[in-house]
Amino acid sequence: DAKTTQPNSMESNEEEPVHLPCNHSTISGTDYIHWYRQLPSQGPEYVIHGLTSNVNNRMASLAIAEDRKSSTLILHRATLRDAAVYYCILRPPGNTPLVFGKGTRLSVIA
């Protein structure tokens, strides 16, 4: 499986934007970039995914580098409820299930 590298932890002030980076230098041309998050005592939750173009949804934005070797998940205004572990995952074609790494633990300070 192609691997991703994320910082172990990040901290943000409430109501400020948060940029969560992910490096995936060995990504293949057909790998989708998925982001999930896991709030305390809950199951993982889908956030966003993309292939080449930047993506926006109600939860976040995904900025993908032109060479696709890195991506950034953007939370436009962090709230206390966004404190979670954020996982950046590459998903190849076929029936390969999601493989979770260690993720980035995001703390939000009031």
Partner 1 sequence: DTAVSQTPKYLVTQMGNDKSIKCEQNLGHDTMYWYKQDSKKFLKIMFSYNNKELIINETVPNRFSPKSPDKAHLNLHINSLELGDSAVYFCASSQGDSRSNYGYTFGSGTRLTVV
Type and span of the H or E element at 86 = strand 84-91
Contact between 65 and partner 1 per CB under 8 A: no
Smallest distance, partner 1 to C-beta of residue 3, A: 14
Q: Give 11 or 45: the residue with its C-beta nearer to partner 1.
A: 45
Give residue 6's Cα distance to chain centre.
9
Q: What token pair was written down for 68?
A: 């696709």
Binding span for partner 1 by CB under 8 A among 7-15, 21-29, 35-43, 72-80:
35-43
Smallest distance, partner 1 to C-beta of residue 65, A: 19
* Ordered DSSP codes for 19-64: EEEEE-TT--TTPEEEEEEE-TTS--EEEEEESSS-EE-SS-EEEE
Smallest distance, partner 1 to C-beta of residue 13, A: 25
Smallest distance, partner 1 to C-beta of residue 46, A: 3
Contact between 53 and partner 1 per CB under 8 A: no
Instruction: Sort 43 into a burial class: Cβ within 10 Å, 0-12 / 13-18 / 19+.
Output: exposed
Q: What token pair was written down for 29?
A: 């041309």
Judged by the rule CB under 8 A, the positions of this chain that interact with partner 1 are 32, 34, 36, 38, 41-46, 49, 51, 85, 91-100, 102
